[in-house]
């Protein structure tokens, strides 16, 4: 009888243990995948596996992935991030899935924090992590973006969506959900997935302690291109979803206010230069003050990340060039939604 109790206890512990499958989609990620996998396989947490799904890369990614003790699944054709994540999830052994990207670097305790979060929240909860405030490549534009994402994603304990660069979900729920949308826009498939899960009755929760260090490789051009591209597809999806003005993660109410304020500032500068009327200059100053007030918490996050000098430079970038790119992306998104075919692939 004593032996039977021991076996029963071992069986119970096996059933209740948290085995984490770290799922990484990879496409031409030769520049970052080694750093990503070196960190992932070095986790202090004992019960996990790493699955990399290569989306038919044409660079040296596959050869680099093979150097690490992980499971490689090589797709026979380039199909996009959604199929890669879904393939990895279906092949996983874990009862918990942890989705990250091929340019994300786990901390040694990240998976331990994942386990803690899973045990804290109910099974019907999808848990989100975020980027570290300081990125792996610690230059100005990469740091600005990392602070922006960290701040935007952690503002609310129950966010509008969970980003797939740090998404935790039970394998059972994932399989029931049908996974990420197979036919969708090139990005923000995790937003659609999150919205679909919430509509099905699941809860979204942000755990800001779960962090991955992101490798951006940003300079000014790449930063502005990223702002344009994300704004473009966010706008297309939001128009279809009828929530264009919603405060939603990186598509925050602050950023949307910032974009409007930037174009208003340009208009007021033009009116002042053409008329020399001081009232337009006064309106310009009031617009700047109002915009900085609305964004004060984000500006404080910039200060906490790297001090006053960085915060001043980042604030100037945030209220001038960055909203121009985001605004241009929104305009392009409206045009594509009205005249393009993108809306036909939206749910």
Residue range 86-110, pLDDT digits in tens: 999 999 999 999 999 999 999 999 9
- Split at pLDDT 50, 70, 90, the class of 12 is very low
Q: What is the pLDDT of residue 345?
A: 66
- Which pLDDT value is given to residue 123? 87
pLDDT for residue 180: 96
Q: In sequence order, what are the residues at sequence separation of 6 or more whose Cβ sits closer than 8 angstroms to the Cβ of residue 34?
A: 64, 67, 68
- Residue 264 reports pLDDT greater than 60: yes
pLDDT, residue 302, reads 98
Percentage of residues of the chain with pLDDT beyond 90: 90
Query: Model confidence over 215-233: pLDDT tens digits?
Result: 999 999 999 999 999 999 9
Task: Give the pLDDT score at 15.
Answer: 44
The reported pLDDT for the residue numbered 300 is 98
Pure H helices in the chain:
2-16, 33-40, 61-65, 81-90, 110-120, 140-153, 171-177, 189-199, 220-241, 253-275, 278-294, 296-319, 321-339
**Residue 184: per-residue pLDDT:** 87
* pLDDT band (50, 70, 90) for residue 185: confident
Q: Is the pLDDT of residue 112 over 80?
A: yes
Grade residue 151 by pLDDT with cuts at 50, 70 and 90. very high
Residue 102 is predicted with a pLDDT of 97
Report pTM: 0.92
Q: What mean pLDDT comes out for the span 142-154? A: 98
Q: Domain ranges in the chain?
A: 2-217, 253-345
Separation CA 207–CA 118 (nearest Å): 10
Q: What is the pLDDT of residue 16?
A: 55
pLDDT greater than 70 at residue 45: yes
Calculate the CA dihedral of residues 206, 329, 332, 238 and round it to 10 degrees.
Answer: 20
Mean of pLDDT values over 286-295: 97
pLDDT at residue 31, rounded to an integer: 96
Distance CA 211, CA 302 (A): 17
Residue 10's pLDDT is what? 36
Q: For 24-51, what is the mean pLDDT? A: 97
Please name every residue paired with 54 in a beta bridge, in sequence order, or none if there are none.
Answer: 26, 74
**Overall average pLDDT of the 262-289 stretch:** 96
Residue 2 pLDDT greater than 70, yes or no: no
- Report the pLDDT value the prediction gives residue 182, as an integer from 0 to 100: 87
Q: Are 100 and 212 in contact (CB under 8 A)?
A: yes
Cβ contact 51:71 at 8 Å? yes
The superfamily (CATH) of domain 2-217 is Spore Coat Polysaccharide Biosynthesis Protein SpsA; Chain A (3.90.550.10)
Token reading at 170:
């039970």
């Amino acid at each position: 009888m004593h032996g039977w109790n021991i076996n029963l206890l071992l069986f119970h512990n096996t059933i209740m243990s948290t085995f984490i499958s770290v799922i990484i989609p990879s496409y031409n990620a030769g520049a970052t995948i080694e750093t990503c996998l070196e960190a992932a396989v070095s986790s202090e947490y004992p019960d996990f596996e790493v699955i990399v799904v290569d989306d038919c890369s044409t660079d040296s990614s596959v050869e680099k992935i093979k150097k690490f003790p992980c499971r490689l699944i090589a797709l026979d054709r380039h199909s996009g991030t959604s199929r890669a994540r879904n393939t990895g999830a279906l092949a996983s052994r874990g009862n918990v899935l942890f989705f990250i990207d091929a340019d994300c670097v786990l901390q040694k305790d990240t998976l331990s924090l994942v386990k803690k979060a899973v045990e804290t929240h109910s099974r019907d909860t999808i848990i989100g992590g975020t980027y570290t405030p300081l990125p792996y490549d610690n230059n100005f534009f990469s740091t600005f973006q990392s602070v922006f994402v960290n701040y935007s994603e952690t503002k609310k304990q129950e966010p509008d969506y969970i980003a797939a660069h740090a998404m935790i979900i039970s394998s059972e729920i994932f399989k029931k959900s049908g996974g990420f949308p197979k036919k969708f826009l090139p990005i923000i498939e995790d937003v659609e997935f999150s919205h679909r899960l919430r509509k099905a009755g699941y809860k979204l929760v942000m755990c800001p302690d779960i962090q991955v260090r992101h490798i951006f490789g940003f300079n000014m051009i790449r930063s502005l291109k990223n702002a344009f591209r994300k704004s473009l597809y966010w706008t297309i999806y939001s128009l279809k979803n009828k929530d264009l003005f919603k405060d939603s993660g990186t598509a925050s109410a602050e950023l949307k206010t910032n974009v409007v304020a930037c174009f208003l500032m340009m208009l007021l500068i033009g009116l002042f230069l053409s008329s020399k009327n001081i009232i337009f200059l006064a309106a310009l100053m009031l617009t700047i003050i109002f915009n900085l007030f609305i964004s004060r918490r984000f500006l404080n996050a910039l200060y906490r990340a790297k001090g006053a000098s960085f915060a001043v430079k980042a604030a100037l970038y945030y209220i001038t060039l960055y909203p121009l790119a985001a605004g241009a992306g929104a305009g392009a998104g409206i045009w594509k939604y009205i005249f393009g075919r993108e809306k036909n692939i939206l749910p």
